[in-house]
Amino acid sequence: MAKKNRKERLDYNTEVKRLREEGPQRLYYLWGPEDYLREAFLNELRKLCVPSEDEFSCQRFNGPAVDMTALAEAVDVLPFFSERRFVEVRDFDVGACRDSDVARLKEIIADIPDYCTLCFIFSPACTPDGHTAAVKALKKAARCMEFTEQEQDVLGRWVQRRFRALGKTVAPKDAEYLVFLSGTRMSALIPEIEKIAAFAAGESVTRADIDAAANRLPEADIFEMTDCIAQRRFDAAAALLRDLLGDKDNHPIMINALIGQQFRRLYAVKCALNARRSRADAMELCGVRYDFIYEKVAATARSFSEETLGSLVKLCAEYDYRMKSTGQDPQTLLVELFGRIAAQV
């Protein structure tokens, strides 16, 4: 069986170099979860099109509805104090277009003047359905760029550079630890880096500084909780569950979903290890992108039997159903689930 092609991640520096060497194209389609890099590229593109602060040569459309007549006029207007014109359209709900608007949109993108750059930008929450005719037409005509989470080494070096810019240093392993705790999105990591740098008393940022100042994603606490369960440290696992429930933003159904996701990940890695699959295959199978996270998952998976993990996956699915359909108190059910997990380990 042929291996499924693994998704390639965007090389931001290469794309910026290409933009500067080749110049702006007429149509761009930007989307993806890494909003920090998306906005950075957008700024580079805008500056190349309109180097000075020329509001007359820039126009922006926001929101799900776009007046096609207004968009066509914006694209056709001659630049005023610059050589090019820049038009950006943010979070346009392409899928909700009427047939007449879709036809008009196709006409616009087929006849963009040489002096204009039209850029469609979609946030992760507004990424359109790629099967619609309008999206297919946009992607066919545009320079399409999906801003993905960066490779482990790229992200780690970026974290270190951000700390150095604030007069601090951080070890590579501790930079990885921060990514584990606070996530891989650069826009979310920036405020955490600033908080930690302000908190750290010394020039070097320690893991203790990170633990004290960084915001922890619920996923990180779930990861630690399942690790504690694997080590039979049930009091520590219960304390983490209590902390998760103490945050009003963490609904029990969401917590259960994350617990189930983690046990599915552990089960996938355990099956891959037992089948002697390659590391790359195991990482793809369990949906883990970074080596240091995979190593944590694999170490925890080795503490369970394949049968136990399969049973725990089913148990989480059972409680997900009960929380959503029986009318019972979700928090009570979550505590009950924790007890049943502990009893099976």
Per the rule left: phi > 0, alpha: psi between -120 and 50, beta: everything else, 303 is alpha
Are the C-beta atoms of 41 and 66 separated by less than 8 Å?
A: no
pLDDT score, position 3: 42
pLDDT score, position 53: 65
pLDDT at 58 over 50: yes
Model confidence at 54, pLDDT cuts 50, 70, 90, reads low
Exposure string over 274-309, b if 16+ CB within 10 A, otherwise e: eeebeeeebbbbbebbbebbbebbbebbebbeeebb
pLDDT score, position 103: 92
Per the rule left: phi > 0, alpha: psi between -120 and 50, beta: everything else, 287 is left
Does residue 10 or residue 186 have the better pLDDT? 186
What CATH number labels 152-213?
1.10.8.60
pLDDT score, position 17: 95
pLDDT digits (tens, 9 = 90+) for 24-33: 999 999 999 9
Are the C-beta atoms of 34 and 146 separated by less than 8 Å?
A: no
Kind and range of the H or E element at 143? strand 143-146
pLDDT score, position 76: 93
| Domain spanning 17-146, CATH class | alpha beta
pLDDT score, position 7: 54
pLDDT at 310 over 70: yes
**Distance from the Cα of residue 16 to its chain's centroid:** 21
**Domain chopping of the chain, boundaries:** 17-146, 152-213, 218-344
Where is average pLDDT lowest: 149-158, 181-190, 214-223, 306-315?
149-158
Per the rule left: phi > 0, alpha: psi between -120 and 50, beta: everything else, 167 is left
What CATH number labels 218-344?
1.20.272.10
Please state, rounded to an integer, the average pLDDT across all residues of the chain: 91
pLDDT score, position 2: 38
pLDDT at 143 over 70: yes
> Token pair for residue 161?
């550079």
Model confidence at 151, pLDDT cuts 50, 70, 90, reads confident
pLDDT score, position 256: 96
Section 176-198 average pLDDT: 94
Section 295-310 average pLDDT: 94
pLDDT at 241 over 60: yes
> Token pair for residue 36?
């920090």
pLDDT at 205 over 90: yes
Alpha carbon distance 236, 284 (integer Å):
30
Strand partners, 28: 119, 143
pLDDT at 5 over 70: no
Task: Tell me, yes or no, if the two domains 17-146 and 218-344 fold the same way.
Answer: no
Strand partners, 29: 120, 144
pLDDT score, position 131: 78
Cα dihedral 194, 196, 201, 205 in deg (nearest 10): -110
pTM of the model: 0.80
Section 246-261 average pLDDT: 94
pLDDT score, position 242: 95
**DSSP 8-state assignment for residue 78:** P
